[in-house]
Chain A
C-alpha cells in the first residue's frame, strides 16, 4: 500500500469511528434517564458527527477523486467501513452504552493527542479541534462510571456486567496493522503500544474509583478496522443510507 493510500485509509477509520458511534448515540435520543443527560448525549453525538465530517472531507481531499463526506458516509458498503467493532455494538441499557463510550473515549483522547503531534498538518489540525471535545466527554463518562459503580448495589452489578461483556472489543484498538504502522512511521503517528499503557492507566484508575473489577484480558474480537464486521453494522448502514441509495445523486 502506498503511503498516500495508508493516510487516506487511516483518515477514513477515524471518520468511521466517529460516525458509527454517533449513529448509535442518536438512536438513544428521547430515551435518556433524565433531561440533562438527554442534552449531553445529543451534544456529544453532535461533536462526533462534526468530527466525522472533517475526517471524511479530508480523506476526500487526499484522495482527489471528487468524493465528499456524504459519498463516504452513504455510498460505501459494509466491508468498506473500518470502524472499531466496539462502536457498532447495540446500545443495550444506559450502563452498556456508557461503558462503550468510556472505554472508547479513554483510547480516542490519547489517540487524538498523539495525532496533534503528527507531521501531517491536516490530521493534526482536526485532532487539535476534536481533542477539546473528547476530553470533556471523557470527564463526563468517567463520572458516570463512578456514579453507577459506586451507586446502588443494583447499578454496581449492572455496570460490572456491561464492563465484562464489552471488554472483548477493546483489544482491537491496540493491535497495530499495516496501516497503523505506516502512519506511525510515515507521519510520526500514534504508537499504539504507548497509547495502550496510557489507556490502561486511566481505565484502571476510574474502574477502581468506581469500586468495579477490571476484566481479565481473554479472547479479543477484531476485524472492524479491516472491514470485517459484526452482524450489527449492516442494519445500521441500511437504515442510515436508505434515502441516498433510493434516490442516488440527489441534493438533500
Chain B
C-alpha cells in the first residue's frame, strides 16, 4: 500500500516503553475501540509505527503528484485537464493533511521531508512506474486510487484519532478519483481501436504493480500482528489484495479489456478469483530503489526543494523583519 515499506521490518520499533500496567491499560482502551489522541500516553513503539506509516503515506501522496502531473500539459481535452489538475491538487492536499496528522506525534514536517529527500523514508512503490500513455492516467485513478481505498477505508477506524479522521476526508476524495479514472478508461474503451489499445496497454503495465501495493504476502509481513493488535491495521495484506482483485476483475470485464494474468480464474466454490504469482523480486527491487523511475522521482523532489531554498529563506527573512517591525 502507500505504506508497504513498513512491512520491510524495523529494528527501532521492537523496543517498547511503558510499565506492564500502562501497556495493559493502553491495550484495554484499544480493545474497547476508544480513539487514542495526541495527548494520550502511548507506547513508544506505537508512536513510532504511526509516524512511519503516516509519513510514508504523506510522502506517497506528494511523490504521486509526479506520474500524473506528467500528463497535465498533454491532457487531450480542457475538461480532462481540469479534472486531472484537481486530482493532482487533491493528492498534494492529502500530503499536507497527513503531514499534519504525523506532526501530532511529535515529529516536524521538516524532519519528515528531510528523511524523504535523503532516501531514508519510503513511499509507495507504485509511483516509481512511468506514465507513458494517456490511458495511464485513467489506470492510476482506477487501480491505484482503487487499491488505496481498499486499504484506507479500514484506516478510517484506525485507533489513532488524528489519522482516522484524516482518512475519512481522504477516502471521500480517493473514491471520487477512482470513479473519474474508470470513467476516463470507459471513454477510451468505447472509442476507437487505438484508444482501446491505449487502455489495454495501461492495464498490462499497471495491473501487477497495483497488486504489489498491498505489500508482501501475509507469511512475509513482519509488522502485521502488532499493527493488528493496535488496530492500526484491520485486515491483512492478502485479504485486502483478494478484495481488490475480486472487485477489479469484474470492472475490467465491463471495460472489455483483459487482465494480464493467464492464471486468473473465478473459483466457483469460494466466489473469489485466484490469480498468478506476483513477481516479488520486482517488488523488492522497486522498494530498494531500483524501479524504473525511483531515481527520477526522488531527484525531482530534491531539485524542487533545493531550487526553492532561496524562496523559503526570503519568506522567513521577511517574516522576521515584519515581526521586528511590529515589536519596534
Contacts and interface: CB of A to CB of B under 8 A. Distances in A.
User: How many A residues touch the partner, as a band?
Assistant: 35 or more
A146 B322 CA distance: 11
A129 to B, nearest CB: 15
Contact of B92 (A35, A94, A95): A35
B123 to A, nearest CB: 13
Given A147-B314, A147-B318, A251-B187, A49 B300 contact: no
A210 to B, nearest CB: 10
Contacts of B310: 152, 154-155, 158
Contact of B192 (A50, A53, A244, A250): A250
Contacts of A242: 74
Contact of A23 (B73, B79, B195, B318): B73
A53 B75 CA distance: 14
B72 A151 contact: no
A39 B85 contact: no
A16 to B, nearest CB: 12
B119 to A, nearest CB: 18
A45 interface: yes
Contacts of A45: 85
A34 B72 contact: no
A155 B311 CA distance: 7
Contact of A29 (B88, B188, B192): B88
> A-side binding surface: helix, strand, loop or mixed?
helix
A52 interface: yes
> B-side binding surface: helix, strand, loop or mixed?
helix
Interface string A46-86: 10011011001000000000000110011000000000000
Given A148-B311, A152-B317, A250-B195, A31 B304 contact: yes
Contacts of B76: 74, 243-244, 252
A94 B308 contact: yes
A10 B318 CA distance: 41
Contacts of A30: 65-66, 69, 88, 300-301, 304
A34 B82 contact: no
A151 B96 contact: no
Interface in B160-204: 187-188, 191-192, 194-195
Contacts of B72: 26-27, 29
Nearest to B82: A49
Given A32-B304, A32-B308, A42-B88, A240 B73 contact: yes
A43 interface: yes
Given A151-B318, A247-B194, A49 B88 contact: no
B89 A94 contact: no
User: How many B residues touch the partner, as a band?
Assistant: 35 or more
A35 B62 contact: yes
B117 to A, nearest CB: 13
A250 B316 CA distance: 50
Contacts of A19: 78
A53 B304 contact: no
Nearest to B66: A30
A26 B88 CA distance: 10
A132 interface: no
Interface string B82-115: 1001101100110110010000000000000000
B92 A38 contact: yes
A39 B307 contact: no
Given A26-B85, A70-B78, A239-B73, A251 B191 contact: yes
B137 to A, nearest CB: 11
B307 A94 contact: yes
B313 interface: yes
A35 B96 contact: yes
Of A29, A32, A150, A240, the most chain B CB neighbours within 10 A belong to: A29
B313 A155 contact: yes
A39 B310 CA distance: 19
Contacts of A152: 310, 313-314, 317
Contact of B96 (A36, A56, A239, A251): A36
A34 B73 contact: no
Contacts of B265: none
B52 interface: no
A38 B69 CA distance: 12
Interface string B285-320: 000000000000000110111011111111111100
Nearest to B190: A251
A250 B77 CA distance: 10
A170 B292 CA distance: 44
Contact of B187 (A32, A73, A252): A252
B243 interface: no
B321 interface: yes
Contacts of B134: 243, 252
Contacts of B307: 31, 33, 93-94
Contact of B73 (A27, A35, A93): A27
Contact of B81 (A33, A49, A250, A251): A49
A42 B77 contact: no
7 contacts: A23-B73, A26-B73, A32-B304, A35-B96, A70-B78, A155-B313, A158-B310
* Among all A-B residue pairs, the 7 with the closest Cβ atoms: A33-B308, A151-B314, A155-B314, A42-B89, A243-B76, A33-B311, A252-B76
